[in-house]
Amino acid sequence: MDEFYYISSDLLDIETIWNVIEKKQKLRLSDEAKVNIEKCRKFLDEKIASNKKPIYGINTGFGSLCNVKIANTHLSQLQENLVMSHACGTGDLVPQEVVKLMLLLKIQSLSYGHSGVQLETVNRLIEFYNEDIIPVVYTQGSLGASGDLAPLAHLSLPLLGKGEVYYKGKRISSEKVYEEKNWNPIQLQSKEGLALLNGTQFMSAYGVWCIINGYKLSYLADLVGTMSLDAFNGLTEPFHKLIHLVRPHRGQIKTAARILEFIDGSEIALQQKTQVQDPYSFRCMPQVHGASKDVLAHVRKVFKTEINSVTDNPNIFIDQDEILSGGNFHGQPLAMALDYLGIALAEWGSISERRTYQLISGQRGLPSFLVNDPGLNSGLMIPQYTAASIVSQNKQLATPASVDTIVSSNGQEDHVSMGANGATKCFKIMENLKTILAIELLNASQALAFRRPAKSSPIIENYFEKYTEKVPFVGKDRIFHDDIVETIRFMDSLEMNEEIFKD
């Protein structure tokens, strides 16, 4: 296994990022990336020295202060002031795994040679990544338009020896890390602060993390849903490939085939059925799960484009002898994709809760609330309440952020994407979905136990056996919070592979 992942112009995709995370690879710049960064910096220095005209963000103020010319002697202070003044994030702490992704994506974007940063600056970001020096970043503060300004300012503060980081299991000042490492703070040169703060790496990191987990949750939704189907003594006819070939949405076909694969060999499925049809939450899993799979595939394409892009401003084009100011930092493509992904994740949870509701309803020979002595025992009555509450919260969170906007910077930034809010909402929906599926798994497992001596398929029985080693059969009432937490932990332990990314 290669210990390093080399930052280069090669396309970075979701599966590559997952491999870098999974294999704990360290980062290095390719020779190509080093040359691109150094050539761009040299070009910018020469352009400033020979050009007396103001160039936005390089020798001017920022935002609505773009018409204020800054003397060349103050350009370094200008960039440091930018980072400090924009570090005004509030709210919850961004999870460390997401911040580490922000570092990776910022390094990738700066490596193309269109941003004008010093090689030393990028190398320090790589040192942060490789040595798990993770900046403390906050969830609130970005409008998702001039880039993720506040979050990226907090990401960049440690370059200056300021702000806080997580290091060796502690949250400490970056100054202490510099003392331990015997490092000197980076002296930002012209444009560098703007290159660090402009960009969509906050939104992108959240999106990438949600996409990676989305593929895992897609698989689990199919697996747990199939367990519920068999435990409910459901029909397999609705998953016949002929039905789906005449409405050939890719996700629908994939889901139907996977359900048949999961249930193959089930004694319960082969039993004579008395019902003609099953409720939609079982019968329409291919159509509902599949639609969310197709959203996931679409969003993955959007983010693949974004994480291989230059999203700061202005952009430097050496061959064309141009420094151009535009709007690549605007997060609208991501904001809309994150809203769409949030809806897709919410729907997996919505249909999951409906299957849970059917399982506890006392139908198909199963006891009410899936417990012996219902009445004396409440059984799995209240976990369904919990799932219903979370599903309702997800519906509220799935309200689009991208249709909102608010004027900022004295009217200069008069339309914003709100993609950062979309990102944190999507992350919350994803975390909520884990809990909803965990509650369904708890119920499906209990219902399968009541089907004994009949057994399900080898795949489901194997998963059932491993699960019940962690969360045993509910013989009487107990503290179900603990079971839900343990179930989430069990689901998180599912090992991912390349096949999961083919949904």
Longest pairwise C-alpha distance within the chain:
87
Q: How far apart are CA 252 and CA 257, in angstroms?
A: 9
- Shortest CA distance to 405 belongs to which of 388, 417, 394? 417
Q: How far apart are CA 25 and CA 12, in angstroms?
A: 14
Decide: 255 and 289 in contact? Cβ < 8 Å: yes
Contact by Cβ (8 Å): 351, 288: yes
Secondary structure of the chain: what % helix, strand, coil (to 5)?
A: 60, 5, 35
Structure token digits, residue 311:
């999203």
Alpha-carbon gap, residue 263 to 282, rounded angstroms: 13
Closest C-alpha among 389, 395, 311, 410 to residue 348:
395
Cis peptide bond N-terminal to 400, omega within 30: no
Listed in order, the ranges of the chain carrying CATH 1.10.275.10 are 4-199
Cα-trace Rg, the chain: 26
Q: Which two tokens stand for residue 15?
A: 């599966």
Tokens of 16: 């590559």
Classify residue 90 by burial, with Cβ atoms within 10 Å: 0-12, 13-18, 19+: exposed
Q: Taking the chain (503 residues) in consecutive chunks of 10 residues, what is each chunk's mean pLDDT?
A: 87 95 96 97 91 73 65 81 96 98 98 96 98 98 94 98 97 98 95 94 98 98 98 98 98 98 98 96 98 98 97 94 92 97 98 98 96 94 98 98 91 90 98 98 98 98 98 97 98 88 85
Rounded Cα gap, residues 398 and 14, in angstroms: 23
Tokens of 470: 């962690």
* Contact between residue 386 and residue 421 where contact means Cβ atoms under 8 Å apart: no
The pLDDT, as a whole number, for residue 496 is 83
Q: Which of 5, 6, 56, 357 is catalytic?
A: 56
For 214, the token pair is 């989305």
| pLDDT on residue 434 | 98
Number of CB atoms found within 10 A of residue 39's CB: 13
Number of CB atoms found within 10 A of residue 30's CB: 14
Looking at CATH, the fold of the domain delimited by 205-318+329-502 is given as Fumarase C; Chain A, domain 2 (1.20.200)
Q: Which amino acid does the sequence have at 388?
A: A
Look at residue 146 in the predicted model and tell me its pLDDT: 87
DSSP, res 502? G
- In DSSP notation, 226-249 reads HHHHHHTT--SGGG-HHHHHTS--
Backbone angles phi and psi of 170, in degrees to 5: -125, 155
Alpha-carbon distance of 354 to 440, in angstroms, equals: 9
Q: Are 169 and 139 in contact (CB under 8 A)?
A: no
In whole angstroms, what is the distance from residue 421 CA to residue 276 CA? Answer: 45
Helices 285-307 and 14-22 cross at an angle (nearest 10°) of 80
Q: Report how far Cα 258 is from the mean position of its chain's Cα atoms.
A: 24
Residue-level length of the chain: 503
Active site residue 56: yes
Query: Given the structure tokens 């704990």, which residue do they identify?
Result: 24
Strands 315-317 and 26-29: unpaired
Q: What SS3 string covers 101-132? A: HHHHHHHHHHCCCCCCCCHHHHHHHHHHHHCC
Q: What distances in angstroms separate CA 473 from CA 177, 234, 448, one per listed residue?
A: 49, 22, 10
From CA 452, how far away is CA 263, in angstroms rounded? 16
- Name the CATH superfamily, with its identifier, for domain 4-199: Fumarase/aspartase (N-terminal domain) (1.10.275.10)
If DSSP codes are grouped into helix, strand and coil, which group holds residue 154? helix
The position carrying tokens 């068999």 is 230
Q: Are 364 and 233 in contact (CB under 8 A)?
A: yes
pLDDT, residue 235, reads 98
Phi and psi at residue 69, to the nearest 5°: -80, 135
Torsion angle, alpha carbons of 61, 62, 67, 69, to 10? 20
Burial of residue 72 (CB within 10 Å: 0-12, 13-18, 19+) is: exposed
CATH 1.20.200.10 maps onto the chain at 205-318+329-502
